[in-house]
């Protein structure tokens, strides 16, 4: 990943217009106070390979092969909800009925989730490399006094398998909210709000959510935070770092366009290739706050 590649900032004509209010003393004093990161496809696991491949393997083991595209479509949701959403896809539901002789129901969700979890633990450990540029960007944010949070669609048992491994590479957030920490998380804002409470950060417009999926971006947007969509290292692109590096300029732009289209429903305020490109966006958000702008217009 070439961190010097121009940042793909949001053209206002493609996304929502920010709401503008007169700057006040809190705006001038606060600026950006927290950045909340997603995990797979954002700070670790370039291409979000671990969850995608585990969903494919788990359904296939039950006699229902699924495509990688089907496995990736609901990405960002809590994993139990992800399984439920996949099972309700018309083709998958029909295949399930043909193989098992009954409709895809909550018992099927429970069976798949039970099989999925140990597979996912192994997969995340095999895909726990921190994405290039993350550690230096997080260090720079902390030098600015910005708190670092995280939310994830993984349950805590899965995250427990990699937090120490990832911390040894230099990424250890100040707060982490997992999918099963609350009765309801993504795409609702509750996990984001919980993270901001743990960080002691308010108002929500002083926070930034960085994510590679629609549910994760909606979590930030509906919480009242700024949102930054990840194009190159995330789920929509689905490539390994080596595959991304092998693309020529045209191939990279085509991939950016595809990822942008996939994230458009969440209307991110900005898009960037990877977290390595985040600091100029933080500068722009700080300037917009100074001018009295807010996210989510």
| Catalytic residue set | 38, 79
> Is 51:40 a contact under the CB 8 Å cutoff?
yes
φ, ψ of residue 182 to 5 degrees: the values are -130, 155
The Cα–Cα gap between 110 and 83 comes to 9
Q: Which pair of tokens denotes residue 235?
A: 């789920």
Is-cis flag, bond preceding 180, omega within 30? no
Q: Which of 123, 125, 51 is nearest to 83 (CA)?
A: 51
Q: Please return the burial class of 240, using the count of CB atoms within 10 Å of its CB with bins 0-12, 13-18 and 19+.
A: middle
Q: Please list the residues that pair with 216 across neighbouring strands.
A: none
Q: What are the beta bridge partners of residue 272?
A: 230
């Amino acid at each position: 990943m070439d961190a010097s590649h121009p940042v793909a900032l949001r053209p206002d004509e493609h996304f929502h217009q920010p709401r503008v209010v007169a700057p006040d003393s809190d705006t001038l004093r606060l600026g950006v106070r927290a950045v909340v990161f997603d995990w797979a496809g954002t700070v670790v696991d370039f291409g979000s390979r671990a969850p995608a491949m585990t969903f494919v393997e788990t359904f296939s083991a039950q006699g229902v092969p699924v495509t990688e595209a089907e496995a990736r479509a609901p990405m960002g949701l809590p994993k139990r909800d992800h399984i439920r959403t996949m099972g309700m896809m018309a083709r998958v539901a029909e295949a399930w009925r043909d193989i098992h002789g009954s409709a895809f129901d909550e018992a099927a969700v429970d069976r798949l989730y039970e099989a999925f979890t140990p597979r996912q633990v192994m997969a995340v450990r095999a895909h726990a490399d921190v994405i290039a540029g993350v550690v230096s960007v997080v260090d720079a944010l902390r030098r600015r006094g910005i708190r670092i949070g995280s939310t994830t669609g993984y349950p805590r048992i899965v995250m427990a398998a990699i937090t120490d491994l990832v911390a040894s590479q230099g990424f250890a957030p100040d707060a982490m909210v997992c999918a099963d920490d609350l009765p309801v998380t993504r795409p609702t804002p509750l996990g984001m709000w919980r993270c901001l409470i743990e960080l002691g950060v308010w108002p929500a417009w002083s926070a930034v959510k960085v994510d590679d999926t629609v549910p994760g971006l909606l979590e930030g947007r509906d919480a009242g935070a700024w949102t930054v969509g990840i194009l190159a290292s995330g789920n929509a692109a689905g490539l390994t770092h080596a595959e991304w590096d092998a693309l020529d300029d045209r191939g990279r732009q085509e991939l950016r366009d595809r990822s942008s289209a996939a994230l458009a429903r969440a209307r991110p305020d900005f898009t960037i290739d990877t977290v390595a490109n985040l600091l100029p966006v933080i500068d722009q958000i700080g300037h917009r706050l100074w001018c009295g702008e807010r996210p989510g217009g």
